[in-house]
Amino acid sequence: MWSRFISRRVLQLIPVLLGVSFIVFLTMHLTPGDPVEHMLGQAGRVSQQQVDELRSYYGLDRSFAVQYWVFLSHAASGDFGISYSHQGRPVASIIRERSPATIELTLFAFLLALVLAIPAGVIASLRPQGAFDRIATVSALIGISLPGFWLGIVLMILFGLRLHWLPISGRIALGMAPETITGLAAVDALLTGNAPAFWSALRHLTLPGLVLAAPMAAMVMRMLRSSMIGVLEQDYVQFARAKGLPETMVVGKHALRNALIPTINIVALQTGLLLSGNMIIETVFRYPGLGKLAVDAIGAADYPLVQAVVLIYAGSYVLLNLGADILHAVLDPTVRPT
Amino acid sequence: MTQTLLDDQLIGTTAATAPGLLRLLARNRAALVAAAVIAAFLLMAAVAPMLASHDPNQQRSESIRVPPVWQAGGSPRFPLGTDALGRDLLSRIVYGARVSITLGVIVVLLTMIVGTGLGLLAGYFGGWFDAFVSRIVDVLLAFPFLIFALAIMAATGPSLTALVLALAFKGWVDFYRVVRGDVLAARGAAYVTAARGLGASTAHIIFREILPNVVPPIIVVATLRMATIIIAEASLSFLGIGVPPSIPAWGTMVSDGRADIATAWWIATLPGLAILLLVLSVNLFGEGLRDALDPRMSL
Amino acid sequence: MRASRSDKGEGAFTRRQLLLAGLRLGAVAGVAPGALSLLLAGCGRRQAPLRRDLVQGSIPIALDADVETLDPAMHRSRTVEAVVRNVCDGLVTRDAQMEYVPELAVSWKTEGDTRWVFRLREGVRFHDGSPFTAADVKFTIDRIIGAIAGLRPSPRKDLLGPVSGAEVIDDHTVAIVTDGPYPILHKKLVFQEICPKAYFERVGPDEFARKPIGAGPFRLVEWAPGERIVLERFDQYYGGSPDIPPVGVPALAGVIFMPLEEAATRLASLEAGDVALAVSIPADQAEVVENLSGARLSVAQGTRTHFVGMNCRRPPFSTRGVRRAMQFAVDPGTIVEHYLLGRARALPGMLVPMAFGWDSSLPEPRQDARRARALLKEAGYPDGIDVVLDCENSDKRIGEAIAGSMRATGVRVQVRVWKKDNLLNQLRRQERELFLTSWGNSSLDPSGILPVLFRSDGYSNFFGYQNPQVDRLLDQADRAMDPEARRRSYVEVQQLLHEDAPTCFHLALEELYGISNRVRDFEARPDGMLPMHDVSLRA
């Protein structure tokens, strides 16, 4: 039962990824810009022969269909080609270099959002329309109304340039980078027992992470609060109270567990948005991750690099949803696949 | 970018009457305030030329980076200060409202029509059409909005049409889902069966019977989508691929002010505040609408 | 709503069920991205943390752009060159006054018009200990001109010039053969750094781009893309060019380059003392740096010319009178003083004063609204003209300032902004009528900027400008081995260009660097290079 469900969903991944890659390929090819022009930049006595040489080397002189087919067949075996804007360096290598930063930021934002949203949602639901609830609701509303790029700039000005509390660029203070094991600075610092590096990494993650997490925290909090309020009215909760169970157990063990179920979908949805919000945040903070890489690559008409990044984003999104569906099914027997 | 939650919540509608709606709304004071703010922005956008005391594109080389009036060095002539080219910030913000609101309305209308149309058809007829559109929706949702927008704008250069397309690209999905869900639910409803029994044509059933019931959630979705679109357009303008620079737009202003954040903080901060205020009001109002039209939809 | 659990009275799940579910979940949702991240993350490339003494004895430098490769032959970026120049030396280099001095070459002479024989320095080692010989020079040249089969074509080929090949004469003598007389080969060799043949062949191009070695004063320790490039002192360095004292091993323990693309961040880092050198300070922040107690402002004349060009093939600018009117349409004073805070210089033509062959007799640019209007009227536009000025994102502010300045003379301009590469593409296809762009000419020789822009068949002739006389003069200058003859030709070209006016407004921006007071013996350079060989840090 499970294996069929999962394999069916995983198979559905493929047409989605194909569709996404096709759209990107098409759009990029409609771009009048020529990646070779970018490579040559402000070239001097460049001859048409030199241009043609480069175009032929990168396979740009072939038809759209041929190029797409070449891309697909190579991608299937894990070869994503070479980057134009990185002077022919392999795409896989470039992505490998930059993805730890994005993974770390996304993970941090994800955890931060949950750490902020879940307790807030629970506490708010305990006393609806109470003081805490009102503050939380208003904050959440503001959270989803904030333009991310603006919040980033405001926080940069306030906490970075005025108060000097937090750094506004980079991943870690100079010279403090721990030994790379996973590539995630904070995790590596923990793994090697390097406390100062850990705090430095965390401090650098704070501003971009906060901005990235804000909308997700807001939505999750609202959803959880509403869900909890509904659950707390249910019979079995009253029953548990009547049985004399302590309030924390009632809330924590019974109510919360059930209230979390509809929240999972929101979490999945929002995490997907973390991936795309990522690009703007990384551009605002000049954070050296995949998002910034993608934005720069599109500007340089670097098809292979853009393709690869898009596939990663799309793939992550689909996997995320799959995970959410599974978690949902696991926690709620009523929606299990039969 | 935010996306409002709508899926699991929309399991049916109550056909609200106009007076009933107003009465419900009036009870929600926050929504009323929000409506007032929105009206103020609309007014501002409409009468911008009369309201703004300066030409928003007028450069003044002798008044570069003037602080807002409440700071040292500020002047009542430029209440919110000037930017790096000496342009009055208040005037630019007022004019910027035009861009945001106009673009927002156009995109929302476009996506509403497309999404509603597809939703009606898919919901009513089902079958391969429904499955086909659902596939497309899956692909679209997996697609990072920004990449598509960047690619389109890179392909076509600075063009308002391309901007609208880029913004509308994914936006219709919310309408589609809501309408489709409602139509699916309505298909088995009594009034539809009755209508069919009376010999009504399919078109009549869809447009005369089902559609009116679907209108309230569409309105809610439209309002909430407006908020998202305003932020999306501002984000694109911020990245330099939105509105052309000769038209004052809030996102562009924040981007322009970025180089001066260490000294002239107001250039980047104040236009963003306008975005926040408008979007907040639209969200508040939209949620008020949602509460009034169908409390089951609310959070 | 959810099914009620009142029959059980407990939570619906036992610990075991939850554990199993968690495992299943982990198997799919967790492992997949987890595996992905492992694949993507640092696996295979464990990097040790930097040594304390290296960090403390190094000079931290804030760059304004990131580097996309570290292969000296595979880039067109000034930033990459600034970094790589510390790792790989070249045959020739320039000192702080932009004078050409020998580096890895000891001397050179020409045999006839097309053969240059270089005597190479002896006793030089690459970072892996292997000796520097003529074979490495030949390999470097061959790679750039594309004479090695199977290797990626180099985008620096045209920068080198019409070189047809290199010959190894003996271990320390190499001949470079050119396609016809090429008087400035030695100047162009400044931009090509020598790569070790054996190492390159051993590791391959991809690894070389990540971890190059050379014969320079510093060796590469770490490149964390987007974050930092760390170099450390090479203790077996041969000493460097004898014409640039001091000669010897570097005083610094190392160099740490950090790309900080946000100007505010560079400034903040300089203020906080996190970096000792910040490049590319914006004009309006210059005062802030001057007021810092721990740092100073260092200024250099830039080698890049910003200019407003016109399409000579299409109305209204196909009429010369209109173009001449445009020469009086912009007020350089306002632009330079108000918008650029005096950190620039308006020029009468494309060359900067430091360039070889600069014509000082050309009149200083000025705005003359009456004359502009008169010229426009004469050319058939009594009511002025309405045009669109296309520029790239980074020049937006200057573009808008220019547009505003022109309004007073009857030239009504709307500014349109493009991404840089988009704009250059269109300009090459001569699709734009009025445009603001820039051209760098680090060689400070007119051959680096005039032919490519103004020859009838120039690759970047954005203007559609065709003048056979100019073509002839440029060819003459290209081939004349006598500097005086070259100078004469170039002066005449500048005069002709001034009359024909395919361009109407030219600016050379100053390069502003913020340098900590701890740094000794470094000032901003016009070519934007950052040689740290002779620099030291006060404690």
- Tell me what pLDDT residue B183 has: 84
Torsion of CA A237, A240, A241, A246, to 10 degrees: -110
- The verdict on B246 touching C (C-beta cutoff 8 Å) is yes
Q: Say whether residue B55 is in contact with chain A using an 8 A CB cutoff.
A: no
Residues of chain B contacting A272 with CB distance shorter than 8 Å: 141
pLDDT(A74) > 80: no
Average pLDDT over residues A286-304: 85
Smallest CA–CA distance, residue A154 to chain C, in Å, is: 13
Residues 6+ apart with CB under 8 A from C248: C237, C239, C240
Q: Does A316 touch chain B (CB under 8 A)?
A: no
Q: Is A15 on the interface with B (CB under 8 A)?
A: yes
Which residue in the set B62, B85, B157 is minimally distant from C422, CB to CB? B157
Among all residues of chain B, which has the CA nearest to that of A221? B299
Closest CA to C310 of C330, C336, C293, C296: C330
C108 backbone dihedrals φ, ψ, rounded to 5°: -150, 155
**For chain A, which chains pass the contact test of at least 3 CB pairs under 8 Å?**
B, C
Interface test with B, best of A135, A145, A169, A328 (most B CBs within 10 A): A145
Q: Which of C53, C265, C307, C455 to mutate to test the interface with A (most CBs of A within 10 A)?
A: C265
Put simply, whether B17 touches C (Cβ < 8 Å) is no
Q: Domain A91-335 maps to which CATH number in 1.10.8.100, 2.40.128.110, 1.20.1630.10, 1.10.3720.10? A: 1.10.3720.10
Best of C267, C417, C427 to disrupt the B interface by mutation (most B CBs within 10 Å)?
C417
Write out pLDDT tens, residues B2-32: 334 443 343 333 434 555 666 666 667 788 8
The alpha-carbon radius of gyration of chain A (Å, integer) is 24
Query: Quick check: B62 contacting C, CB < 8 Å?
Result: yes
- Search chain C and give the residue with CA nearest B240: C393
What is residue C90's DSSP assignment?
B
pLDDT the model gives residue C69? 93
Give per-residue pLDDT as tens, A201-219.
999 999 999 999 999 999 9
Q: Does A189 touch chain B (CB under 8 A)?
A: no
Contact between chains at B231 and A147 (C-beta distance less than 8 A): yes
CB < 8 Å to C282, chain B: 259
Extract the runs of DSSP E, i.e. beta strands, from C267-425. 277-278, 295-310, 344-347, 385-392, 411-418
Q: Do A16 and B139 touch (CB under 8 A)?
A: yes
Give the DSSP letter of residue C285. Answer: G
Closest approach of B219 to chain C, Cα-based (Å): 26
CA dist A165 and C42 (Å) reads: 30
**Closest partner CB to C68 (pick from A87, A258, A261):** A87
Rounded-to-integer distance, Cα C165 and Cα C137, Å: 11
Residue type, C254: G
Residue-level pLDDT at C499: 94
CB contact under 8 A, A149 and B3: no
Interface mutation target, options C157, C208, C437, chain A, most CBs of A under 10 Å? C157
Tell me what pLDDT residue A303 has. Answer: 79
User: Which residue of chain C is at minimal alpha-carbon distance from B296?
Assistant: C1
Between CA C484 and CA C489 the distance in angstroms is 9
Domain edges within chain A: 91-335
For tokens 């982990």, name the residue: C26
Residue by residue, pLDDT tens for chain C (539 residues) are 333 333 333 334 445 544 444 444 443 343 344 445 444 544 446 778 888 889 999 999 999 999 999 999 999 889 999 999 999 999 999 999 999 999 999 999 999 889 999 999 999 999 999 999 999 999 999 999 989 988 888 889 888 989 999 999 999 999 999 998 999 999 999 999 999 999 999 999 999 999 999 999 999 999 999 999 999 999 999 999 999 988 999 999 999 999 999 888 999 999 989 999 999 998 888 989 999 999 999 999 999 999 999 999 998 899 999 999 999 999 999 899 888 889 999 999 999 999 999 999 999 999 999 999 999 999 999 988 999 999 988 888 899 899 989 988 889 998 888 877 778 878 988 999 999 999 989 889 999 899 989 999 888 899 999 999 999 999 999 888 889 999 999 999 999 999 999 999 999 999 999 999 999 999 999 999 999 999 999 87
Chains that touch C (3 or more CB pairs under 8 A): A, B
pLDDT confidence of residue B7: 39
B74-93 pLDDT, tens digit each: 888 888 999 988 899 999 99
Tell me the residue ranges of DSSP E strands in chain A: none
> Chain C within 8 Å of B260 (Cβ-Cβ)?
yes
- Taking an 8 Å cut-off on Cβ atoms, the answer to whether A275 and B254 are in contact is no
What is the average pLDDT value for chain B, to the nearest integer? 82
Does B160 contact chain C (CB < 8 Å)? no
* pLDDT 10s digits, A148-189: 999 999 999 999 888 889 988 889 888 888 888 888 888 888
**Is A157 near chain B, with CB under 8 Å?**
yes
Point out the residue among A171, A299, A316 whose CB comes nearest to the CB of C227.
Answer: A171
Mean pLDDT for the stretch of residues A43-52: 70
Q: How many CB atoms lie within 10 A of CB B113?
A: 12
Any chain B CB within 8 A of the CB of A334? Answer: no
Position B295 scores a pLDDT of 59
Are residues A332 and C2, on separate chains, in Cβ contact within 8 Å? yes
Inter-axis angle of helices A91-126 and A290-299, to 10 degrees?
Answer: 130
- Return the residue in A22, A30, A139, A149 with the most chain B beta carbons within 10 A, the one to mutate for interface testing: A149
Determine whether domain B2-298 maps to CATH 1.10.3720.10: yes
Asked whether the beta carbons of residue A320 and residue C29 sit closer than 8 angstroms, the reply is yes
Q: Which residues of C touch A97 (CB under 8 A)?
A: 225-226
Pick from A19, A31, A276: which is nearest to B146 by CB? Answer: A276
Which residues of chain C make contact with B246, given a CB cutoff of 8 A? Answer: 414-416
At a CB cut-off of 8 Å and minimum separation 6, what does A115 contact?
Answer: none
pLDDT of residue C525: 94
Distance from CA of A308 to the nearest CA of B (A): 12
Structure-block tokens of residue C474:
């440029």
Q: What percent of the residues of chain C are helix, what percent strand, and what percent coil, each to the nearest 5?
A: 35, 25, 45
Q: What is the reported pLDDT for C428?
A: 86
* Alpha-carbon span C410 to B125, nearest angstrom: 63
Average pLDDT rounded to a whole number, residues A302-330:
80
Q: What is the pLDDT of residue A338?
A: 47
Q: Could you identify the residue written with the tokens 């020789």?
A: C445
Mean pLDDT over the full length of chain A? 83
Q: Which residues of C touch B61 (CB under 8 A)?
A: 334, 338-339, 401, 404
Which sequence spans correspond to the domains of chain B? 2-298
> For residue A276, is pLDDT > 80?
no
Quote the CA–CA distance of C242 and C106 in Å, as a whole number: 9
Distance from CA of B252 to the nearest CA of C (A): 11
> Shortest CA distance to A220 belongs to which of A277, A258, A262?
A262
In this complex, is the C-beta atom of B262 within 8 Å of any C-beta atom belonging to chain C?
yes
Does the pLDDT at position A329 exceed 90? no
Distances (CA, A) of B261 to A209, B62, C64: 20, 20, 17
pLDDT at B39 over 80: yes
For residue A230, list chain C residues with Cβ-Cβ distance below 8 A: 1
Distance from CA of C298 to the nearest CA of B (A): 20
The residues pairing with C296 across neighbouring beta strands, listed in sequence order, are C515
CA distances from A32 to A27, A121, B191, C393 (A): 10, 50, 55, 18
**This prediction's pTM:** 0.86
